[in-house]
Amino acid sequence: MFEVYPDIFLIKEEGALGAAKPPENIYVIAGSNGIIYDAGYGTKKDIKHVFKELKEIEEYYKAQNKDFRLTRILPSHSHPDHFSGLNRLRDSLGLKTILTKKMADVIRDKESFYKSFDADDFEDYLRIRNKVKRKIRNFFRLLGSKLFYQHMYGVSFLDDPDEIIEENSDILINGETWKIFPSPGHCKDHISLYNEQKGILFSGDNVLRSITTWLGPPESNINDYITSIEQFKKLPNLKLILTAHGSPIENPHERLDEILKHRKEREQQVLNIIHKHSERGISPKGIIKTIYANESRFLHTVARGWVVLTLKKLENNNQIKRQVTKNKILFFPV
């Protein structure tokens, strides 16, 4: 564990398999009425590590004759690396689970959860596939996801949250008021936590220190994401961003500007590629291959999310148009 700010501790779960199970940050706002922000993974190994770290924090407080009592746990959004540990942490530590209604609707059972990210190939990822092949592929993809999340993430669902809060609300933590507010973009039910007096923002997955967050259908929205980043920029007295992955950001406005600039550059890059192929058009796959010419197939799969969201944004802005044939979806400049 690491004290990133007085009375705020970061517990890092190691993760595995690179981007498939990334290292995860769990935060503890410690004190007499403390809270855990994000629940992390739910495997026995991961939970054992969190308990060990929490015990060290407790002993640290006892040595200083300071109160240490955790009462609640609040996830930033309904992705499995952020809620899988909820049940075990609640049951073992006697915590109250706090969710928004949107989160609660997603993680109440496995059917609701898997339905939330079951993107249709054509509508969401701009692919054309034979219906039979698509159904077979989706069946095995869903089966693989279930097995992966169960064994690697230790995912478990929660149908009885202790408290449902509004997305815009205040919460009292150790006698201080923190603001909870919606910050969709990466995920439609994403919320952030902010204390104006301290200037501390818990950004979840929306802001990361050195990499851009994942964006893709059906839960991500680039317009919402940009709006959330711009909203962060307007927070009064913002000094420190505590992210869900990676180290704290001590130059928040600089980093937020970098993210906005990066999104504009990516959008322009996609538009330029389409203009270069104005006669015959270009498919999403062709755009990805152009941008990531020497990269792995895995990266191509991951990148498809932000590419198709960008294409839809440009299409909605009437900057490009699509042509659907029997085998391809092609894009042309307007």
Convert the pLDDT of each residue in 50-60 to its tens digit.
Answer: 999 999 999 99
Q: To the nearest whole percent, how much of the chain has pLDDT over 70?
A: 96
Lowest-confidence range among 40-49, 92-101, 120-129, 244-253? 120-129
Residue 30's domain comprises 2-116+154-250
Q: How confident is the model at residue 136 (pLDDT cuts 50, 70, 90)?
A: low
* Domain containing residue 217: CATH number: 3.60.15.10
Integer angstrom CA distances of residue 113 from 78, 173, 224: 8, 29, 21
Domain count along the chain: 2
In a domain, residue 124? The reply is no
- What pTM, to 2 d.p., does this model score? 0.94
Whether 243 and 276 map to the same domain: the answer is no
pLDDT digits (tens, 9 = 90+) for 183-203: 999 999 999 999 999 999 999
Does 125 map to a domain? no
Confidence band of 1 (pLDDT split at 50, 70, 90): confident
Summary mean pLDDT of the chain: 94
Q: Give the range with max mean pLDDT: 4-18, 137-151, 231-245, 296-310.
A: 231-245
| pLDDT recorded at residue 134 | 66
- The confidence band for 124, taking pLDDT boundaries of 50, 70 and 90, is confident
Residue 215 has pLDDT above 90, yes or no: yes
What is the percent of the chain where pLDDT is above 90? 83
43: left (phi over 0), alpha (psi -120 to 50) or beta: beta
Q: Are residues 175 and 322 in the same domain?
A: no
Residue 120: per-residue pLDDT: 66
Handedness of CA 93, 94, 100, 104 (dihedral sign): positive
| DSSP 8-state secondary structure symbol assigned to residue 224 | H
**Does any domain span residue 94?**
yes
